[in-house]
Amino acid sequence: MSSPLVLLVSRSASRTQVYREALDTLGVSCLAISELKEVSILAAGTPLSGILLDMPVLIKATPGDKTAAEDILKALPSAYLNIAPATDAIKLLTANDTQGTARSIEEFAGLCRGFTPRLVRPKDRYPLHLQAMLTTPPEQGSPERTVTLNLSPRGCFLFTGNTELQLEQQVSIQFIGLEDTTPVTATICWLRRWGTDPQHVPGIGVHFIDLSESQHAQIVRLLEPLQPH
């Protein structure tokens, strides 16, 4: 059986070498890159069993780079790495527990060995901030003022600290920033609870159910300047 291939994102050659040697000892192959923006390209063309992010990479990454990597971090075993200054020991923090949790690099290697390698295609989400009003039918309580952190013609990620929202729940969203402000029904596909991930903003990822043709057309126009050419 071939060893699992993990994508390692680290800007430091010396830190990369420390991580690589540890992974080699655990029977895990490593493909090292230095920029978070390269993740989407490699994940779409190379079957991977996991992804590791060196913590200093996040300091230099743009919000757009972080958004583009979110779907990949959920689709693969993923973790943040750091090196303790006093002992040079590798510290590990699971980035997303969708594919399992790990408390050490040894446990992370075990996750990768049990994971079938896969390609992860990037989605058409781009960082765009639209003010919106969020309500939860059928109660139709007081709407929550919020904003999109990213948007696509198929769905968006909305900031919210509402702890009562659940996966597969339907919500209603009125986009104040669109010409057509007719409320849009959407389904919650994933959520990030307040306080569970201090590195990221809490909120919900939704899939649109009844976006109108005019709303779809305007979102496409708004996103066009943000797309790579």
CB 112 within 8 A of CB 49: yes
Determine phi and psi for 98, rounding to 5 degrees: -60, -40
Last residue of a domain, one of 113, 142, 163: 113
> Tell me, what's the pLDDT at 170?
93
118 assigned to some structural domain: no
Among 113, 147, 173, the domain-final residue is 113
> What is the model's pLDDT at position 9?
95
97 and 176 fall within a common domain: no
Mean pLDDT of the chain: 87
Domain of 84, CATH number, reads 3.40.50.2300
The answer to whether residues 105 and 16 belong to one domain is yes
- Say if residue 11 is in the same domain as residue 104: yes
Residue-level pLDDT at 8: 96
Q: Tell me, yes or no, whether 122 lies in a domain.
A: no
Pair (12, 109) in one structural domain: yes
Q: Residue 188: phi, psi to the nearest 5?
A: -75, 120
Pairing of strands 155-159, 144-151: antiparallel
| Per-residue pLDDT tens over the stretch 128-153 | 899 999 998 765 668 899 999 888 88
Question: What digits encode the pLDDT tens for the residues 70-129?
Answer: 778 888 999 999 999 888 899 998 877 778 889 999 999 999 999 999 888 666 677 889
135 shares a domain with 106: no
- 195: domain CATH number is 2.40.10.220
pLDDT of 73 reads 86
Cα–Cα distance, 183 to 174 (Å, whole number): 4
Q: Lowest mean pLDDT: which of 102-106, 164-168, 210-214?
A: 164-168
Distance CA 174, CA 70 (A): 25
> pLDDT exceeding 70 applies to what percent of the chain?
93
Q: Is the dihedral of CA 97, 100, 102, 106 positive or negative?
A: negative
Q: What is the pLDDT of residue 1?
A: 57
* 106 in the same domain as 11: yes
Q: Provide the whole-model pTM.
A: 0.60
49 contacts 120 by C-beta, under 8 angstroms: no
Q: What residue numbers bound the domain in which 73 lies?
A: 5-113
- How is residue 36 annotated by DSSP? G
